[in-house]
Each structure stands twice: as C-alpha cells, then as structure tokens.
A and B are shown apart, each in its own frame.
Chain A
C-alpha cells in the first residue's frame, strides 16, 4: 500500500496528473470525513480537503519517503483543521486547565458553534448525543480521537502524524475517552 502511494507520489512529482488523481481518489473521502467530523461544516471540510491536496502537490519534492504517505497527508489535513478550530474560538485564556474537568481545558466548556445549516441526518437520538459529545471536545483531544476512531490509526501512527510523543497521545486518548464516558453516562 505504502509502496503504491510512494510510487504515485514520485510519478506525480514528474508531472503525471493521473498519478496525482489516483492519490486524490485514495484519500479524498477519508480526509473529507475526518475534516467534517472535526469542523462540523461541509463547506469548510471541502476547503480543508482541497487545501490539503494543493499543499501535497506543492510539496511533493519535499516528501520524505521514510514517512508513510498517509502519515504525511493526515498531518497536513489535521493541522489545517486545528488552525480553523483555533481561529473560531475566542481568544481569552482557554488553555489554562481547570481542575473540575480533569485536565480538559476551557475549550471544551464552550459549546461548539453549530455552523451546519444542513443539519445532519442522524438516525437516532443516540447518534445525535454521541456527536454532540464529540463536538464538545477541545481541538487537541478531538484531533486525537478522530485519528483513533475514524482513521483507526494506532497510537504510534497518531504520534507520527501529530509529531508528538506516544505518551502524550496515550494521555489524550485516555482523557478524551473518560471525558466522553462522563458526558454519555447519564444520557444513554
């Protein structure tokens, strides 16, 4: 798999548009899915996906083949998502961790702005509650949870994507999971 992608990347670098189109096909929907879950907005998710591929195309010659192609592209996409989430939030000190919420910072206490006019077709109340709970996670936890549960990456892979130590990722998965447990425990 990784060999195929590295080969496609090399062909695309030589100017082969079809090879690049194949890379788009391989990743576009995965990236869109994640970006949509992160941003909760279809238009923004599409923009992020487009921007991701533009950056990939522009930086193909700098692609380091020792890194998995998926790791590289997820890194670009998650950074773009995090940037957008940060810009949305008000600027007062939210990074101060509060004790009441077991290490989750102030971001998680602000209700996420529901920018989606096209309200999602959720089949059940259960699904709605789960998605609401996920949306209330702070960006740094949300990112980790998305990579873990949507892309089903291992902790090591997430650590590669975010370029952070595995121990940090582990802590975030644990805290994120526990935060969601508390949110969901009374409702379900």
Chain B
C-alpha cells in the first residue's frame, strides 16, 4: 500500500468509514511504515483532543442556567404574537391566489365588455356601406337612406343608425342596424333583409362580417 492511500485510509478509519478488509491492509502498512504510524498516532490524538475539547467543553463563562433561561425568555418574547396564516386572508382574495387563471379570465371579460359597450355607444352616426354601384345610386336625406323608385342596384347595402327606405329594386342583401327598414310596395330585395338592434345581434353580425371579410 502506498503512503498516500494509507493517509486517506487513516481519515476514513477515524470517520468510522473504512471497510474491515481495508482496515486490515492499513494495519499491515502501518506496521511496516514508521512515518505513517507516527502520523496515524498524531491524528488519533488530535481526534481525541477535539472530542474532549468540544464535546465535553468547559462551561462557557456567564452562560449558566440563569443565562439560558433569560435567552429563552428573550426568544419567546420576540415571537410575533399572532401568526398570520393563509387562512386569515380574505375569502375572495384567497380564491384569486388559489386560481390565478380565474383572475386573468375575470380581467379579460371586464376589459372586453368595456370596449364593447363603448364601441356600441359610439356608433350613433349614420354609416352606410356597400358596393360602389349601390352607394352611387342611393339618396341620403338626414338619417334616411332612400333607394329611389325605378332604380335597380346590384350589391349589398348596410345602413347603421339610420332608416332605409327601399323603393327600387336591390339585387343583394339589405341590413339595417339600429334603425328601421321600410320596404315600399314598389321596392324589391332579392337577397336577405335584416334589421338588427340588439347588442348581441350586432356583435354577432360584426364578428361574422369580419370573418367573411377575411375569407373573401
């Protein structure tokens, strides 16, 4: 056995960590190597001194029973009187802590609702949209959109916040939002005619419109 291996073995032995077989090899080496034997004896003595000095250390001055009791008192008096635990938090807040997704969803709904309502209320002006040909032939008087008698238009017409008066022929859809649709006896609409005045309908219409817009 090499001396450096033996030295590691000595420490392991003192740690109570050396297998029996290796301990026997170490013993054999120590018998034949005086310098390792000397070192081992020193280490053994150091170990004994350390245990003796630390484990059975003399009492620390001025740390007697009274001092110990005083420290205990100091520790106990410094503790917070009432522990703030999770249970003390207010109900709703705790709910949000527990389900962060819920908080996000709630916030989303609030924001969406807000912008939706403001968008809906904003649109009180008359808006007409439709294909070019249609727009050229309609007559606008205040909030009234008229398709004059005898006129034949091709295309869709959308009127927002106004009254549509159809006297001529429309070859397409006519949609009125927040207003009324008046179809004269001379008027004729080949496509669908719809009147929307409910928020939800309006919203749904906007959505389908933007989607069909994307598709086309």
Contacting B at CB under 8 A, from A116-149, are 118-123, 126-127, 130-131, 134, 145-146, 149
Distance of A21 Cα from B75 Cα, bound (Å): 9
Determine the distance from Cα of A120 to Cα of B82 in the docked complex, in whole angstroms: 40
Contact B53 A130 (CB under 8 A): yes
**A49-B75, A177-B46, A181-B46 given as contacts; is B58 within 8 A of A121 (CB)?**
yes
A126 to B49, CA, bound (A): 9
> In the assembled complex, which residues on chain A have CB atoms less than 8 Å from the CB atom of B49?
126, 130, 184, 188
B43 CB contact (under 8 Å) in A126, A127, A177:
A177
B60 touches A180 (CB 8 A): no
Given contacts A134-B53, A177-B43, contact A50 B68 (CB under 8 A): no
Taking CB atoms and an 8 Å cut-off, the chain B residues in 74-93 that contact chain A are 74-76, 78-80, 82-83, 85-86
User: Which B residues from 4 to 44 make CB contacts under 8 A with A?
Assistant: 8, 11, 14-15, 17, 39, 42-43
Within 8 A of A (CB), among B109-127: none
On chain B, the residues within 8 Å of A123 by CB distance are 58
A178 at the A/B interface (Cβ < 8 Å)?
yes
Is A185 engaged at the interface, CB distance under 8 Å to the other chain? yes
Determine if B57 is an interface residue (Cβ-Cβ < 8 Å).
Answer: yes
Q: For the complex, is A17 an interface residue (Cβ under 8 Å from B)?
A: yes
The answer on a CB contact under 8 Å between B54 and A149 is yes
Given contacts A21-B72, A122-B58, A177-B11, contact A155 B50 (CB under 8 A): no
Question: Which of B15, B57, B79 contacts A170 (CB under 8 A)?
Answer: B15
Q: A42-B63, A150-B54, A188-B45 are in contact. Are A177 and B14 (CB under 8 A)?
A: yes
Judge whether B55 is part of the interface by a CB distance below 8 angstroms.
yes
User: Which chain B positions have C-beta within 8 A of A173?
Assistant: 11, 15
Q: Which residues of A contact B45 (CB under 8 A)?
A: 184, 188
Q: What CA separation (Å) do A146 and B57 show in the bound complex?
A: 12
Q: Say if the beta carbon of B62 comes within 8 Å of chain A.
A: yes
Q: In the complex, what residues of A have CB within 8 A of residue B75's CB? A: 24, 28, 49-50, 53-54
Given A24-B72, A155-B15, A173-B11 in contact, is the A149-B51 Cβ separation under 8 Å? yes
Stretch of A32-40, A64-72, A83-91 at the chain-chain interface: A32-40
Q: Which of B11, B43, B50, B86 is the one whose CB lies under 8 Å from A149?
A: B50
Is B46 in contact with A50, judged by CB distance below 8 angstroms?
A: no
Residues of A within 8 A of B11 (CB): 170, 173-174, 177-178
Q: Is A165 located at the chain interface by the 8 A CB criterion?
A: no
Question: By the criterion CB–CB under 8 Å, are A178 and B43 in contact?
Answer: yes
A79 and B121 CA atoms in complex are apart in Å by: 63
Q: Give the contacting residue for B71; candidates A13, A28, A131; CB below 8 A.
A: A28
B47 an interface residue at 8 Å Cβ cutoff?
A: yes
Known: A21-B76, A188-B49. 19 other contacts (CB 8 A): A15-B83, A24-B72, A28-B68, A29-B68, A33-B57, A42-B62, A61-B86, A118-B62, A119-B61, A121-B58, A121-B59, A130-B49, A145-B50, A149-B50, A149-B51, A155-B17, A170-B17, A177-B11, A178-B43
The residues of A with any CB-CB pair to B shorter than 8 Å are 13, 15, 17, 20-21, 24-25, 28-29, 32-33, 36-37, 42, 46, 49-50, 53-54, 57-58, 61, 118-123, 126-127, 130-131, 134, 145-146, 149-150, 152, 155, 170, 173-174, 177-178, 180-181, 184-185, 188
**Which residues does B use to contact A, with CB under 8 Å?**
8, 11, 14-15, 17, 39, 42-43, 45-47, 49-51, 53-55, 57-63, 68, 71-72, 74-76, 78-80, 82-83, 85-86
Among all A-B residue pairs, the 9 with the closest Cβ atoms: A174-B11, A130-B53, A149-B54, A181-B46, A53-B75, A150-B54, A149-B50, A181-B42, A121-B61
